[in-house]
Amino acid sequence: MKIQITFHRLLLAVFLMLSTSAIAQNYYVKSGNGINLRTGPGTNYPVVSTVPYNGEVKYLSDADGSWVRVDYHGQRGYVHSSNLSEEENKAQQNNTAQRQNNSTQSRNNNNYQRNSSAQQRQNTQRNYASRRYGYTTALGLRGGFTSGVSLKHFVNNNGALEFVVGSRWHGVSLTGMYQWHSPNALGVPGLSWEYGLGLRAGFYDGRYYYRHYYKKPCNNPNNHNCYTYYYNRDPGVRMLGVVGIGGLEYQFPSVPLTFSVDLMPHFYLPHYWGTFWDGSVSLRYVFK
């Protein structure tokens, strides 16, 4: 009796092995980049291994959706059935067509990128020529006959306010100007013409201020054209006048700096010798 039961079990085992062998089927990977062998039926499962193009896998069973359980060189896991082909040659043909499509798509992408880059450069040049040099506020130094600190702030695309605290004749001047900017000066991107008007208030030492203009000997304390006329009086000279500006400004494309060269004529209203020419160069740091 025991021999009969053992024989029946042996027949059942052989039958199961033959059935499994009959069901088992080999497939080939047709994806040109290979596929991932995962621990479960989905892309959210970890990757066990990578099966290369035309790699042979053994079908084990179906899984959820279009996923199947396979064996690849002793490693078992799940792959998507759309990446498998029953015939090796068919996988080769499919992959060849896929490589051709990828090559065509790559060429199209390269052409698109080149065209996009060229268009972007053209747009950048046009924008660079029409915008306010890419900055809003800059702070720096002015050096010239009147030297000091300069703050410049754009209030619109082509208009800016500049405030200057300067020093001359042992005194201080306060200047505020509105400036118009014309970009692409001399055909150079980043270079602009600047011109404008404003007001200047000056607080100077009278002895130094008038000595600058009356160079010939003049010692008559009653003659207002002689600086000695102001020598024994209050040395503080307070004046208010109109100032203009004209020049060029350049913004460096790779560093946050601007450089300008300009002339600033100004006319002080309450004084006889009230017209002056003031030239300067400026270097400012761009904040934004």
Q: How many CB atoms lie within 10 A of CB 189?
A: 16
Average pLDDT, the chain: 77
> What percentage of the chain has pLDDT greater than the value 90?
30
Q: Looking at per-residue confidence, does 210 or 285 come out higher?
A: 285
Helices (H), 76-159: 88-130
Does residue 48 register a pLDDT over 60?
A: yes
Determine the Cα angle at 260 with ends 259 and 264, to 5°: 155
Which is higher by pLDDT, 87 or 155?
Answer: 155
Report the percent of the chain where pLDDT is more than 70.
62
Burial (CB count <10 Å: 0-12, 13-18, 19+), residue 259: middle
- Give pLDDT tens digits for 173-226: 899 999 999 888 898 888 999 999 999 888 876 666 655 555 555 666 666 666
Are the CB atoms for 181 and 138 separated by under 8 Å?
no
Q: Across 14-18, 100-104, 125-129, 156-160, which has the greatest mean pLDDT?
A: 156-160
pTM comes to 0.48
pLDDT band at residue 100 under the 50/70/90 scheme: low
pLDDT band with cut points at 50, 70 and 90 for residue 144: confident
Asked whether the beta carbons of 28 and 84 are under 8 A apart, the reply is yes
Q: Which helix (H) or strand (E) element contains residue 176?
A: strand 171-182
- Check whether 24 has a pLDDT greater than 50: yes
Alpha carbon distance 176, 269 (integer Å): 16
Asked whether the predicted pLDDT for residue 285 surpasses 90, the reply is: yes
